[in-house]
Each structure stands twice: as C-alpha cells, then as structure tokens.
A and B are shown apart, each in its own frame.
Chain A
Amino acid sequence: MTATKKGLYRKEPLDYILLVLLSLILILILYPFYNAVLISIVPQNDYVRAPLMLWPSRVESTNYKFVFDSPVLLRSMATSAVMMVVGAIYNMLLTVLFAYAMTRPIPGRNFFRFIMVFTMYFGGGLIPYYLLIKALGLLDNFWSMVLPTVISVTYMLIISNSMNSVPSELTESAAMDGAGEIRILFQIMLPLLLPILATFTLYYAVERWNEWYSAMLFIKSVDKWPLQYALRKIISDANFISTQAVTGEYRPPTYGEGIKMACIVVTVFPLMAVYPFLQRYFLTGLTAGAVKG
C-alpha cells in the first residue's frame, strides 16, 4: 500500500485531471458509434425528436429487416469476405516482395523506387484506367476489384524501412549458411517484422472490405457486387422509398437515417470482431521504428 502510494503508481492531482480528460475523449470517440447503433434500432419519431440518445425508449428491428431482406446482401458479404482475404494476401505478398527488393543492392533500385513513388502523385486518369481493365479482359470480373490495387506505396516504404533496420549480420550469416533470398525473406526477415506485417495486413484488409469504387466502374453483374456497393444501393433504395413516389403497392415504412446506421453497423461489426485478435500486433506495429536503439 505504502509502495503504491509513494512508488511508481502514486497518483498526483494532475493524474486525475489527465484521467478525466482521457475519459472525456474516450466518450467522444465511442459515443458516435453507440448513437449509430441506437439510431438503427429506434423508430423514426424517436430519432427525430432526440437525435442524440443515451438509451432507446423503444426498440424495433425494421431497419435491420430492410437491410437483411435485400436480395444482394448475403452474397455481397461473401464476395467482400473473399475479396478481403484474397486481396489482403495478394497485396501483402507483393508489398513485402517489393519492399524486400528495395533493401537489396539490385541494379536500378532507385529507378524502380522512383517509378513507384511517382504513382503516389500522378495517375493515368479514369478513362485510360477503364480502357486498361477492358483490354485486360477484366470487365465484370471479380479480379478487377483485386488485381489493380497491387501495392500501397506508403505501406511498402514503411515496411522497406523496417527491413532496413534489421541488423545486416542476421541476413549475412543466413546467406553464409546457404540461404537464398526467398528463405532469408520468409524465414529470417518476416518473423522479425510480424507486428508491422499484422498492422498493414489489417489496413489492406479494411481497404478491401471497404472496396466499392472498382465495383461501380467495372462490375456489370449484381451477383458480383461487394458489400459496400450493395449497402450503398440499399441506402439509396431506402431514401428513394421514403422521399419519392410510391405506387399502389403497400410498402413498409422506412426511414433513411435508420437504415444508413444499420448499414454502418453491418459493415463495421465484422471488422470490430476481428480487431481484438490483431490488437496486440497492431499496437506494436504502429510504434515500430518510432524509437531508435
């Protein structure tokens, strides 16, 4: 007890201020998510009368029913899940290979690095991009949503820098023992970079999970829609039904904000479920390279 009071864990007044401040920030960050969940489950009248809620006065499931009744939702979820797994592996593999190459004394290394960095600032334009995908025969093809996003230059540079920080003695001794580049990369280098690899795998996975623009441009079949594009359509439908003409048929009441929030919950939930398992790596990865020595 005395040790706690006088030792490392001794609390000073400023600590309490810090605690209060951090708690407020925590609430500021968490509350919008919480409120989004509430908006998705309360009736429209309750939401409009009190858009910021602490507790739902009434609960109903019509918004989720509207979302899950969509004929495209489950299939698009599966498409996005496959795209996330395949895409993240594909992206990470190519990113790691390129990053490793940039750490080796290969001819033209700086030229290739320049070419890569150039793409961070300049693109070919939408129409040439479309024509390229068309020429590759990827229109209306699942791979048009995966293959074009080869690597993120930013992630590649960060991973490459992390590889540079691995003591060269390790790779040199492995080479002296007869290991080739592939073996050095996969058995020496990557195990040392697990936290940063996990971090960028998560980043890539989130990007693939959130993919919709390529689908909008290149996909011509409903059964190949990814989740985000399907949700975009569901929200659009909800707004259309709630604000536009409805003909003789009966339709259940809908309200756009509630359905929008239900879509957000549906989108975010799978990622939130995965995140705790990667959190350990994620925190370490974020701080990798932050300190020297």
Chain B
Amino acid sequence: MKKRLLIIVSLAVASVMLFSACGANNSGAAPSDPVVAASDGNAAASESAAADSGGEAAASDGQYENPGYGYPVGDFSEPVTISMTVLDAEKTGNTARDKWLFDQFNIKFELIPVTWGDWLEKVRVMVAGDDIPDILWWDMKINHTAEFRSWAQAGAFREIGDTAAYPNLQALREKTVSMEKMLTVDGKLYGWSANRNNPDWLDNAYYPMFAYRRDWAQALNMYKEGDQYTWAEVLAMIDAVKQQDPNGNGAGNTFGMVSETWAFPGVYMSILDYSETQDSYVKDASGKYTPYFTTDAFRQELKFLADLYRGGYIWKDQIAISGSEGLDNFKAGRAFMYLGNNSPDWFSGQYASWVETGSIDSPDALAPMIIFGPVTNTRFTLVQTEDYWTVANFSHNVDDKKYERILQLWDWYASEDGRAYRVSGIPGVDYERVSDTDINILWTKTADGLYDSPYRDTANNFATPPCLVPSPNEGTNMTGYNAFEKIFEFIQTSPDYFVRPLNWDLNTFNGEQFSQYGSFSSERDEFIKTVLASSDDVDSMLDQWLGEMAPKWGPVAAELDEQLK
C-alpha cells in the first residue's frame, strides 16, 4: 500500500515537472535566418543598364543585328578552377545554363556550401583557420566591419586593385558607397559588395511592408483607395475585424497584427515618426553622444508599441513565437495584417500560393499597406539600409590568373549581356535580344501567364557577388509590382516620404568599446519585450532600466565623443 502511494506521488511530481517544462519559455530558439532575398524586391524599376560588353547595336527595322550578342569576349584559353562559398550549392552548377557559362569562360567552380543558419560561423572558422576559398562570399553586414577590418589587416584577403580595365565593375565601384566606407582598409579595397541596383528614388530604403486583407477592409467599408492609412484608421479596422469577424473564425480567434520574428519589436518602432534619426547613438543637446534609447523619441515609440501590444492589436503570442507562425496565421485567415520583408516579389509569390490553396479568391484580396506616422499622420518613414546585399573577398592565395578571370567574369555579369544571362539564360536558347537593353524570353508560359522556367528550383549564386539583377525585369512576375503601383507613386512624388539616412561613419566606427558592446541592441529588445509583457507603467520601467544601463553605455559614448568627431 505504502509503496503504491509512493509510486503515485512520484508520478504526480514527474507529471507536474513535465507540464512545467512544456510551459517554459523557448528562450533558446534557433537563430532566425537572415531576411534579404537575392532578387531584392526593393528594386522596383530597371535603371539604365550597364554598358554592353559585346558592342552590339539595335537595328532600325526592329531586328537585332548582331547574332553574336550575349557571348563574352576575351582570352579564356587557359582553364581556371575557382573555389567559392555559395548558398544552395546543391542546386547550383548542374544546368545547361551553368555549363554554357563554364564553357564560355573556361572556368570550373568548386562550390563550398553554406546555409543561412551557419554562414557566418563557417566564414569565421575558415578565416581563423586560414582555409579561405578563392572567393569568400558571405552575408557581411555593416556591424561586421570591425571584424572584417581585422581580417584584412591580418592579411587574410587579396587587395582588389585598379578596376579601370573592367568598365562595368568600375561603374559599380564608383556608385557603391560601402566599398569606400566599409571595405577599404588603409586605402586598399579588400572586398566587393554586391550593389542592390535599387532605383534612385527608393534611396536604398529598407521597407518592411505591412500586408493586409484588403477584402476584409472592403467588407467592413473601411477600405481606402491606395492602401494608405493613418494609425487611427488601422486600429479602428482591427477593432472592427475582431468584432465583426469577416472570416468567420469565431469569437476571439482573429488577431490584428502578426509579423516575422525578426520584425518584432524593432521594425514596428522603425516606421514611426517620432524622430528624424534612429542611429544607435545620437548627440544630445550638449553635443555628447548618447544611446538612442535614452532619448525622448524612443520613450514615445516604446509607449506607442506598448499601447498596441497591451491593447491587443498585436497578436499576444508574437512575443514568443519562432519560425513562420506569424505568416502561417496570416495565411490561414486568422490575422488582419502581417509585417515582414514584403517586397513586390514576395507578393507575387504569395498571390500564387494563396489562390491555389483557396486562402483568397483573387490577388485583389491581399495588398501592401502604408501607415503614416502617428505624429504627423501624413509622413511615411523608412530606414536606409546598406547599398549592397552580400560581400565577396578574394583569398590571399588567389594568384593573378584566377584574379583576372574572376574580374572578367564579374565584369560580364554586370554587363547587359550578363544581366540577360542572369534573368533568363543562354542567348538564342533562353532569350533573344530585341534592343540594346531589352530581351525577349523564349520560355513557354503557364496558363497563368507565368514563365515555365527550365531552371526552376535551381540556383546560380556564383553570379551574385558583383551586383544584384535590377528588378523588375523581363522575367519578373508583375502581379506584386502592380499591387505596389499607388505606393510607389506616393514614394516617388510625395514630400511626405522620408528615409532616415544610414550613418556610415557611426556604423563602421571601430573603436574598442564600440566594437565590443555596440548599441546594446539585444538588451534593448529584451527590455522592450519585458515592458510589453508587463502591465506596469512604461515610464517608470524605462527610467529604472536606463539607470541600470548607464554604467554600461557610458564608456562607449565616451569613446565616441573622443574619437568620432
């Protein structure tokens, strides 16, 4: 009897422990993947293309004269093997398009696979172990500048010298600020940043866009032409959506805003208009550097966000989710708005899958949304980002022959012929040229009018290092771009479109304290989440936290005052 009782008690205790373990916060969640796509949707209009390396000319009768278009020109008689880190290595290098390129340049690639989850870790180990491939292609961001410079100074990389002989590369070099501000060490260029090729009017703004259920807004008679709203209108729509449940989810089963994990909470605050700058350190009234989170603007942003979250406008679980749960809920019709990296290309992809799965009847039901800042109610604020996507470095072991071949290849990639190749493929097979800047893609089309690409689900990331392909282009599914028509019109014409400029000098500053501690962004984000999850007064919580943080940021600010004039 006693023994059985003991067993029952033990099992009960074990069960309680099991339940409590199940309920524990998932604080050790896997790092989220980076968020920028190779074919960056920010690029919304094709700029004048780079100079054509083939020297072809358009014929007056509309027929393109030069049958040799699309082929690289140069002496590639000696074979060269290049090793390179690439994403999607398993999908790379096996197509007819890839083989054509390898034949043209007499080049062979040894692809070293990296994935989003381990890219940086692998790069660090390779550099530390002096085991760098010929081209080290990686997801370098501006906050890696100090690390990059220390590697360059240690002799890990070969300098990229004069590029005047490569006109397309030279043009990119001249327009890419990051090469000078970030990748030049002691007057020498040690890396090549892949210019995003964004249109000028976008000003390299990073625009995390809300996607929303336009059909619900229409059903509630709250839709505004152009999809441009104030925060008051958005909150009123969310209240109405929750109350009237247009999707029939049942009481309490429809959320207002959901987002990608990386977008919460920072991006919600970045689109508010309480300040002209959100640099990690700003100068106070006395001209001394202080962290942005000590400013009154940050306090206002925090209060605004706390009101959204505590008021139930943001999905309660957003604070703890991982993976794609935000988008899953939006797709399942359980959320009204979704904040993510919602570029025109993203919308194009979503439209196809949403219609196919029956989530919406037509693309019109889903749309991007502009929300004007809560202070002005007219201003749409975005943040400028780096002018590139990724960075490539040459190993210090790269000899002249390889170096020259890589630059020849990259220069061609950056040319109009290279652009045509990257958009479609082999000249005469995948496309035909119709003018100096336009091609006609020869692939068949699906019933939806989309190209049935023979290269679907393959990748050619070895083409990315010199620059991204301008988008939209001849191969682009335009559905998403069409949805952005009014928004792009606003961005291009309205004085109320405002981009907070990227502070290159601050972000590439490599003082010892700054490099080690930075802007305490992870502590700040944790604190913001603590505030949101609490019901205490925001002001007093912030005051207390600022008191705790002051000894930490003090030395960093002092270093900036001393060294960053």
Q: Bound state CA distance, A126 and B129, in angstroms?
A: 10
> Are A236 and B328 neighbours in the complex by a CB distance under 8 Å?
no
By a CB distance below 8 angstroms, the chain A residues around B361 are none
With a 10 A CB-CB cut-off, give which of A17, A139, A260 has the most chain B CB atoms. A17
Instruction: Please give the distance in Å from A230's CB to the nearest CB on chain B.
Output: 8
- Asked if B66 is at the interface of the complex by the 8 Å CB criterion, the answer is no
> Are A248 and B332 neighbours in the complex by a CB distance under 8 Å?
no
Within 8 A of B (CB), among A18-69: 18, 21-22, 24-25, 28, 43-45, 47-49
- Asked if B418 is at the interface of the complex by the 8 Å CB criterion, the answer is no
> Are B129 and A45 neighbours in the complex by a CB distance under 8 Å?
no
Q: Bound state CA distance, A139 and B118, in angstroms?
A: 17
By a CB distance below 8 angstroms, the chain B residues around A270 are none
Instruction: Please give the distance in Å from A224's CB to the nearest CB on chain B.
Output: 10
By a CB distance below 8 angstroms, the chain A residues around B329 are 48
Q: Bound state CA distance, A252 and B356, in angstroms?
A: 9
Within 8 A of B (CB), among A46-97: 47-49, 70-72
A28-B15, A134-B131 in contact; A253/B353 too (CB < 8 A)? yes
Chain A interface residue count: which class?
A: 35 or more
A21-B11, A242-B327, A257-B325 in contact; A49/B346 too (CB < 8 A)? no
- Asked if A14 is at the interface of the complex by the 8 Å CB criterion, the answer is yes
> Are B476 and A48 neighbours in the complex by a CB distance under 8 Å?
no
Please tell me which one of the listed residues B12, B357, B471 contacts residue A44 in the complex, with CB atoms under 8 A apart.
B357
- 1/0 per residue, CB under 8 A from B, across A222-238: the answer is 10010000001100110
Please tell me which one of the listed residues A18, A244, A249 contacts residue B341 in the complex, with CB atoms under 8 A apart.
A244
> Are A236 and B116 neighbours in the complex by a CB distance under 8 Å?
yes
- Asked if B115 is at the interface of the complex by the 8 Å CB criterion, the answer is yes
> Are B327 and A243 neighbours in the complex by a CB distance under 8 Å?
yes
- Asked if B59 is at the interface of the complex by the 8 Å CB criterion, the answer is no
> Are B125 and A127 neighbours in the complex by a CB distance under 8 Å?
yes
- Asked if A216 is at the interface of the complex by the 8 Å CB criterion, the answer is yes
Residue of B nearest to A71 (CB): B90
> Are B115 and A232 neighbours in the complex by a CB distance under 8 Å?
yes
A28-B18, A130-B128, A134-B129 in contact; A260/B332 too (CB < 8 A)? no
Within 8 A of A (CB), among B350-372: 350, 352-354, 356-359
- Asked if A217 is at the interface of the complex by the 8 Å CB criterion, the answer is yes
By a CB distance below 8 angstroms, the chain A residues around B128 are 127, 130
> Are B33 and A248 neighbours in the complex by a CB distance under 8 Å?
no
By a CB distance below 8 angstroms, the chain B residues around A236 are 33, 115-117
Q: Which of B1-9, B69-77, B231-239 lies at the interface?
A: B1-9
Residue of B nearest to A248 (CB): B477
Q: Bound state CA distance, A72 and B457, in angstroms?
A: 13
> Are A242 and B324 neighbours in the complex by a CB distance under 8 Å?
yes
Instruction: Please give the distance in Å from B262's CB to the nearest CB on chain A.
Output: 10
- Asked if A278 is at the interface of the complex by the 8 Å CB criterion, the answer is no
> Are A246 and B346 neighbours in the complex by a CB distance under 8 Å?
yes
- Asked if A239 is at the interface of the complex by the 8 Å CB criterion, the answer is yes
Q: Which of B36-44, B168-176, B182-190, B505-513 lies at the interface?
A: B36-44
Instruction: Please give the distance in Å from A179's CB to the nearest CB on chain B.
Output: 45
By a CB distance below 8 angstroms, the chain B residues around A28 are 15, 18
By a CB distance below 8 angstroms, the chain A residues around B354 are 253
- 1/0 per residue, CB under 8 A from B, across A172-207: the answer is 000000000000000000000000000000000000
Interface of A is mostly: helix
- Asked if A268 is at the interface of the complex by the 8 Å CB criterion, the answer is no
Instruction: Please give the distance in Å from A220's CB to the nearest CB on chain B.
Output: 5
Please tell me which one of the listed residues A15, A70, A240, A249 contacts residue B456 in the complex, with CB atoms under 8 A apart.
A249
Please tell me which one of the listed residues B115, B332, B448 contacts residue A49 in the complex, with CB atoms under 8 A apart.
B332
By a CB distance below 8 angstroms, the chain A residues around B37 are 244-245
> Are B328 and A250 neighbours in the complex by a CB distance under 8 Å?
no
By a CB distance below 8 angstroms, the chain A residues around B446 are 250
Please tell me which one of the listed residues A21, A43, A237, A250 contacts residue B15 in the complex, with CB atoms under 8 A apart.
A21
A245-B37, A250-B450 in contact; A45/B4 too (CB < 8 A)? no
Instruction: Please give the distance in Å from A214's CB to the nearest CB on chain B.
Output: 12
A21-B15, A245-B346, A247-B39 in contact; A256/B323 too (CB < 8 A)? yes
- Asked if B349 is at the interface of the complex by the 8 Å CB criterion, the answer is yes
- Asked if A286 is at the interface of the complex by the 8 Å CB criterion, the answer is no
Instruction: Please give the distance in Å from B292's CB to the nearest CB on chain A.
Output: 28
Q: Bound state CA distance, A249 and B448, in angstroms?
A: 11
A44-B357, A47-B328, A248-B348 in contact; A222/B4 too (CB < 8 A)? no
A248-B451, A249-B451 in contact; A239/B324 too (CB < 8 A)? yes
By a CB distance below 8 angstroms, the chain A residues around B343 are 245
- Asked if A255 is at the interface of the complex by the 8 Å CB criterion, the answer is yes
> Are B328 and A18 neighbours in the complex by a CB distance under 8 Å?
no
Residue of B nearest to A135 (CB): B129
Within 8 A of A (CB), among B228-264: 249, 260
- Asked if B96 is at the interface of the complex by the 8 Å CB criterion, the answer is no
Question: Which 9 A-B pairs rank lowest in CB-CB distance, beginning with the nearest?
Answer: A246-B349, A48-B332, A253-B353, A245-B37, A245-B345, A256-B324, A248-B477, A222-B90, A14-B4
Known: A72-B90, A253-B356. 20 other contacts (CB 8 A): A14-B5, A25-B11, A28-B15, A49-B249, A127-B128, A130-B125, A131-B129, A134-B129, A134-B131, A139-B131, A233-B115, A243-B340, A245-B349, A247-B345, A248-B475, A250-B446, A252-B353, A255-B328, A256-B324, A260-B323
**Could you jot down 29 A-B contacts, CB within 8 Å?**
A14-B4, A15-B4, A18-B7, A21-B11, A21-B15, A24-B15, A44-B357, A48-B332, A70-B90, A127-B128, A134-B129, A139-B131, A221-B113, A222-B89, A232-B115, A233-B115, A245-B37, A247-B345, A247-B477, A249-B453, A250-B352, A250-B456, A251-B349, A252-B353, A252-B356, A253-B352, A257-B324, A257-B328, A260-B323
Residues in chain A within 8 A of chain B (CB atoms):
12, 14-15, 17-18, 21-22, 24-25, 28, 43-45, 47-49, 70-72, 126-127, 130-131, 134, 139, 216-217, 220-222, 225, 232-233, 236-237, 239-257, 260
